[in-house]
Amino acid sequence: MLRLLAVCACALPLLAGCKKPEPPPPPPVEIAPEEAKPVGFIESLPDAVFQNLFFGYTYETCLEQIGRPEDETESAYDPGDGEYRRPAHTQWRIWRFKDGSVLRLGFQSGELRDKKFEPASAVEPSPHEETPPA
């Protein structure tokens, strides 16, 4: 018994100094670059699609109707008037089409609350686009 105790007492400091082998590091994770959203992928927005975007729809439901992701997003904050209207945050999702028309959908709390369609004739040219000389 004494021998066993002596062997354990001698081996304990040796075992305490031993470290477990570290596991190999995980393989690097490749992150795919974000794909660019297609601008003007659809020639124009059919009137029937615009009429079928009902208030209360979620973004996903509207996306199914339109057929492609938005080109831009904007945020707007309305502080309300303190009496009749409460503060509201609207997230605007904007689609631009090849014919120059623009669709703007405003979402509050995840639901469609406002929608605007600007036909190509009503849209001002972007200051970033060059106009051909006359």
Please determine, for residue 31, whether its predicted confidence score (pLDDT) is greater than 60: yes
The span from the CA of 134 to the CA of 131, in Å, is 9
pLDDT single digits (tens) 80-109: 887 787 788 899 999 998 888 999 999 999
| End-to-end CA, the chain | 107
Phi, psi angle pair for 47, to nearest 5°: -60, -35
Q: Exposed, middle or buried by CB within 10 Å (0-12, 13-18, 19+), for 62? A: buried
Q: What is the pTM of this model?
A: 0.58
Q: Which CATH number fits domain 47-122: 3.30.1450.10, 3.40.50.620, 3.30.565.10, 2.60.40.10?
A: 3.30.1450.10
DSSP codes of every residue in 76-95: EEE---SSS---EEEEEEEE
Domain ranges of the chain: 47-122
